[in-house]
Structure 1
Amino acid sequence: MPGILYLIPNTLGQEAGQSNPLAAIIPSEVQAITARLDYFVAENAKTTRAFLKLINAEQPLAKPLQEISIAELNVNTAATALPALLAPILAGKDAGLVSEAGVPAVADPGANLVRLAHEHGIQVRPLVGPSSLLLAVMSSGLNGQSFAFNGYLPTDTEQRSKRIKGLELRSRQEQQTQLFIETPYRNSALLEALTTACQPTTLICVATDLTLPSESIKTQTAARWKAALSAGNSPDFHKKPTVFLLLGQ
């Protein structure tokens, strides 16, 4: 009988000197399930080991960390490698799928493994934890009844502007909140592009370092963002994970 594939949420980050953040964001039952597993498929083995060390501080691991198997699944993993990752589960071993941050299989290559697990009749169990996308929608004040995640926008200036205008038009016509993310060191460039491409009345939310002590969430019109940037009042989001949202008015 196949094992179970648990979808295990990770933290969204940890600041230097911060005490163990798990108690506030990862339920104890999720920690307990994680602690008893000895096989993980992870986006990044190094960050997963760091996560398991945090788990161990709250819930002792069933095996020493060096005896726990962590197989990597990231954007460079070929589709032909997925069956080998699934093989231990098909042989009866329970496993945990872990993203580098937040919940797995959402804006995450782990979705391919989950789909294959379903094809093989493996039970998939999603566990409760922080999703930066849902937290951003919750806290933005924008439409939570209809929203769409669009991943990364083009880096080319002209293509990015065209994409933003298209998302803004759709948002205005359907009253649908549009979400997207950016490589953290490009946050400033993206916010400037939004204030340039969007209509002055379009609402823009910038949600940074969600669940961390440095968390910052602010929603205002494109016009107000543009004025703030012109005055040198840019958000403190350089190299910090940020979710951007817009709603056309």
Structure 2
Amino acid sequence: MIGGAEIAAPRLEPALYLVATPIGNLADITLRALETLAAADILACEDTRVTRVLLDRYGIRRRMLAYHEHNEAEAAPRLVAMVESGQSVALASDAGTPLVSDPGFRLVQTAQERGIRVVPVPGPSAVLAALTAAGLPTDSFMFAGFLSSKAGQRRSRLETIQSVPATLVFFESPRRLAESLAAMSQTLGDRQAVVARELTKAFEEVRRGSLGELAAHYGEVGAPKGEVVICVAPPGEETTTGAEEVDRLLLALAAEMPASKAAGEAARMTGGKKSELYQRLLVLKEEGNAR
């Protein structure tokens, strides 16, 4: 029941439903997702305790089956057999969209091989939430998942994707955040980046800066709390804006805010380095005063 109105939960056709759930704020659930969770014959989820919190919030009483990386080899065929017997199966991850750095690939693959319909029920995604708030190019992006905790493997992975002409999006552990940002700066170059954490939650933070600046910040303050998403600008992004256009942008921003802040905002918008833009702004101001 939401706002005094009951959610209609019509019977679902036999199929595998992939249900996106909130990444933090439980109000982000969609009506269709609630209907699917309430109507499915079988509800599979990573951690029944986590999903129970969501179901209790909306008055949904369902029996749940655990489906996670440790049991998916045996659970996937069993769930597929349930659909083949005429039942509807909904898969929900702990948070966000199933299969995005979460178990479920084996289940979907098995279902497709058996000719079973797979139905996405879209909704919250930490990847898209971070990307849209980052202020980096969104016309092309690559989700790179988690980097390895081992330095050599992490460096090799970054070298493999360093030339990809797209904004790169990573998940990262708070404990490895400073270390990974430093590795990115060394391998990818000191590109503009964004660290987004605790998205949709009470202490949501979206911090912008160069990879080096962000690495230094988190190295100083220590590991933050919560889930972390890192967005990194495409290679050569700092050269995509013409010099004259950058000059106009700097002067326009400087008319509204202090020089240092104007340089920082220009760096965020263009992908350039704040220190270089600040020096350029000082030159422009001096030239203007000389006229």
| TM-score, reference length from structure 1 | 0.79
Taking every aligned residue pair, what percent have the same amino acid on both sides? 29
In structure 2, do the counterparts of structure 1 residues 78 and 36 end up closer, same or farther at CA, with 3 Å as the change threshold?
A: closer
Q: Residue 102 of structure 1 aligns with which residue?
A: 96
The 5-angstrom pairing of residues 20-99 of structure 1 reads 21-23=25-27, 25-56=28-59, 61=60, 65=61, 68-99=62-93
Conserved 8 A contact 1:105-1:114: no
SS of residue matched to 1:170:
coil
> Amino acid of the residue matched to residue 116 of structure 1?
T
Identify which of 188, 193, 196 aligns with 1:204: 193
Q: Residue 167 of structure 2 aligns with which residue?
A: 177
Alignment gaps of 5+ in structure 1: 14-20
In structure 2, do the counterparts of structure 1 residues 180 and 229 end up closer, same or farther at CA, with 3 Å as the change threshold?
A: closer
Q: Cα deviation per residue 1:84-112 (whole Å; 9 max; x = unaligned)? A: 12222211111210001101122221122
> 2:91, 2:215 → 1: CA distance?
41
SS of residue matched to 1:88:
helix
Q: Residue 10 of structure 1 aligns with which residue?
A: 21
> 2:22, 2:215 → 1: CA distance?
32
Conserved 8 A contact 1:42-1:73: yes
Conserved 8 A contact 1:35-1:55: no
In structure 2, do the counterparts of structure 1 residues 223 and 80 end up closer, same or farther at CA, with 3 Å as the change threshold?
A: closer
Identify which of 212, 220, 224 aligns with 2:213: 224
> Amino acid of the residue matched to residue 156 of structure 1?
K
Number of matched pairs: 224
In the TM superposition, what is the alpha-carbon distance from 1:38 to its structure 2 partner?
4.2
> 1:12, 1:96 → 2: CA distance?
18
In the TM superposition, what is the alpha-carbon distance from 1:134 to its structure 2 partner?
1.3
> 1:158, 1:36 → 2: CA distance?
47
Q: Residue 246 of structure 2 aligns with which residue?
A: none
> Amino acid of the residue matched to residue 210 of structure 1?
L
> 2:154, 2:33 → 1: CA distance?
39
In the TM superposition, what is the alpha-carbon distance from 1:154 to its structure 2 partner?
1.6
Q: Residue 145 of structure 1 aligns with which residue?
A: 139
Aligned-pair RMSD on alpha carbons?
A: 2.5
SS of residue matched to 2:163:
helix
> Amino acid of the residue matched to residue 47 of structure 1?
V
Conserved 8 A contact 2:181-2:212: no
In structure 2, do the counterparts of structure 1 residues 31 and 229 end up closer, same or farther at CA, with 3 Å as the change threshold?
A: closer
Alignment gaps of 5+ in structure 2: 1-11, 237-291
> Which one has the bigger helix percentage?
2
Identify which of 164, 174, 177 aligns with 1:187: 177
Q: Residue 261 of structure 2 aligns with which residue?
A: none
> 2:89, 2:218 → 1: CA distance?
47
Q: Residue 203 of structure 2 aligns with which residue?
A: 214
1:115 aligns with 2:118: no
